[in-house]
Every structure is written in C-alpha cells, then in structure tokens.
Amino acid sequence: MTISAAQCLTLCCRSRRPWRLLAILAALLFVISGCRRDGAGQGEASDSASVEDPARPVAREFEDGPLQVRLSLDRSRLDITETITLRLEAEAPEDYAVELPKFDEGTEQFMKPDVRFETPRLTERNTMLYAREYVLDPIIAAEHAIKPMTFQAMAKAAADEQAKVYTVETEEIPVEVTMPPEEVWQELDIDEAPALVPAERLAPPSRVSRWWWGVIATVVVVAFGAFVLWRRRQRQAEETPPIPAHVLALAALRELIAEDLIGRGERKAFYNRISAILRVYIENRFQLRAPEQTTEEFLDGLSHSGDALVKAHQDLLADFLQHCDLVKFAAYHPEDKEVQATFDACKKFIVETASDPDERATP
C-alpha cells in the first residue's frame, strides 16, 4: 500500500500523538535517500572500473634464486604506424655472471630501428643491474607476440667446483597491431577524381571485373601508404646517425671521474664501473658478447675471434680485466698508482681501437 505525502500529513494532524508519526516518516525518508545515494555511488564505481588504458602497457617480473628479471612494454596495442619500447632488466649479486637473451631472441616478428645497451651498474642493494632497451616496429597489421626469453645467472666458482646456474624463462606477451585510423588515410594526397568514361560501351562490366579492380585499387593504396611511412622512417634514420662506440665510452669515463668514487673510498665500485664501461665498448665496437661473460669465457672467445683485435690489444685487455677481477672478487686493495694505471689502460685501449682514424691520431 502506498501513502502519499498529503495523506501522511493529514494522518499526523488527526492522530492523538502526531510526534510519533512524524518521527516514523522522517526515518523512512532517511532510509530511502541513503539507498538512492548507494545506487548512484555503485554506478559511478562501475563506470570508473570500465575505463581501460587503450595502450595496455605490460610489466612482468620473474625470479629464480638470486636472479630477478623484469620485463616491461610501454604498450601492447598499437597501429602499424607506431612503435613500442621493450625494456629488459636482470638483477643479481656482484659475484654472479649474468647473461641476457640473444639480440634477436623473442623479437623476431618486429624490426628494431633502435637498441640501447646500458652499462651494468651497482644498485643500492649491492647487486648488479643489467639492462637493455629495444624500439620495436611492427611489419604488418596482425596479432604479434613477444616470445619467451631466457636469462641466466652463474655463480663464480673455483676451478674444481661446479658452478651453480639459475635460469629464468619469461612468458609470451601478445601484441595487437591494427591498421591506422581513418584520419591517417585522409591526410594522404590521393587523387580521387574519376577516370574518363567512354560515351558508349560495348557491354556492361561484369561483377568479377569490378571486384578485381577493387582489389587492385586497395593494393595500390596500401602499397602507397607503406611507401610513405618507409620514406619517413628513412629520413629520420638519416638525420640521426648512431653515436660511435668510442665516443660513448669516453663520455662514460668522464662521468666516472666526475663521480670521484676513489676520493670517497669506493674503490670496488670504481672497478665495477670501469670494467663494465670497457666491456660495453667492446660489444658495441666489435660485436663481441662481453658484458654478460666471465673474464675467462670472454678471453677464450677472443682468442677465436680472428682479426677483431691485434695481439698487443688482446694482451692489454687481458691484463686489465684480470686486475679488475682481483679487486672485485679477491678483495685486493689497489694503490693509487694502480688505479691511475688501470684508468690509463682503459682509455688507451678505447682510443687505439676507435673506429675513427682521427680519434686514434689525437688521443
């Protein structure tokens, strides 16, 4: 039974105790207004929960013993004119040799117009952080995926001991690549004027003929759009040539000196940084996998690398890396003159093996 507000007021006036009816009426109004507010709040919450980031970024973490792996993707949904950035990070204690995935592992479905190798660095947790970053460019509009990648960390052990190896394999990450929105096609300069039509025709065109002309027109438009995008990326690549490996390495040495790690008594951190700088330089300059290998593995591979380095440079590099290992892993405390000699050897190796002849002539 429903009672209107006027009927309730009349009932209160006729009742011997109208204050009781007024109290009951006020309580009913309060309950009804609260229910309405709750319903409105739930509607707002459901609306906000339905909002989704159209780019769909991805961040994954994996772990095996002391090896921690992080993989992030700035977007997993894009159109064919856009690019995505993939970042790999591996973190392990200082006395572990870490191996990141091979260059093309897991990213075979994409072009890679830019790859950035970061210098391994010591974190606040006294672990070493290894990182690599890709810019990925899709080739076609279809379902793509970042395939599983393999990371490894191996504890350094004595010659007569079996080294413990930890392995992390990431999961597959789907990537959705679509055609560009309609606005992109509207910006293309395509002549839409109809072709000349003869005044008389011997016979009307068949349906098959019209279908084939539609297919040909679609292929021409797609090919033209792909050519325009390719030319644009070619111009961008020509305008921004890659920085030579020796320029990056010498800049890293200047930053290392500016940090004054030796003056602060952080000799081990200094040796970690300077050995990492030289290893990254060797990988960028000679395409040798130096940052993720132990000194023994790297020197053994270097002896089978052909003419990548002359004998004098191989000997200089071996002395440099073995001296750095003494400080990093054998608790050796070098004197100031040894620190200076280590820095000079690193700079000499970079200058003498630089790809630019002018840089070699003026160290």
Output the DSSP codes for 248-313.
HHHHHHHHHHHHTTTTTT-HHHHHHHHHHHHHHHHHHHH----TTS-HHHHHHHHTTSTTSS-HHH
Look at residue 112 and tell me whether its pLDDT is greater than 90.
Answer: no
Look at residue 357 and tell me whether its pLDDT is greater than 60.
Answer: no
Please provide the average confidence, as pLDDT, over all residues in the chain.
78
% of the chain residues with pLDDT over 70 = 71
What pLDDT is recorded for position 43?
45
What pLDDT is recorded for position 187?
72
User: What distance in Å separates the CA atoms of residue 105 and residue 36, rounded to the nearest whole number?
Assistant: 56
| pLDDT range class, residue 15, cuts 50, 70, 90 | very low
pLDDT tens digits along 120-135: 999 999 899 999 999 9
| pLDDT range class, residue 139, cuts 50, 70, 90 | confident
What pLDDT is recorded for position 28?
59
Helix (H) or strand (E) holding 91: strand 84-93
| pLDDT range class, residue 61, cuts 50, 70, 90 | very high
More confident residue, 202 or 185: 185
pTM of the shown model? 0.42
325 contact partners, CB below 8 Å, separation of at least 6: 295
What pLDDT is recorded for position 319?
86
Average pLDDT, integer, range 294-311:
70
Look at residue 69 and tell me whether its pLDDT is greater than 60.
Answer: yes
- Say if residues 173 and 76 touch (Cβ distance below 8 Å): yes
Q: Domain 58-178 falls in which CATH fold?
A: Immunoglobulin-like (2.60.40)
For every residue of 79-90, DSSP letters joined together read ETT--EEEEEEE
**Which residue ranges make up each domain of the chain?**
58-178, 213-242, 245-361
| pLDDT range class, residue 273, cuts 50, 70, 90 | very high
Q: How far is CA 73 from CA 88, 133, 172, 247, 336, in A?
A: 9, 10, 12, 29, 44
What pLDDT is recorded for position 175?
93
Look at residue 326 and tell me whether its pLDDT is greater than 70.
Answer: yes
Look at residue 303 and tell me whether its pLDDT is greater than 70.
Answer: no
User: What distance in Å separates the CA atoms of residue 240 and residue 41, rounded to the nearest whole number?
Assistant: 52
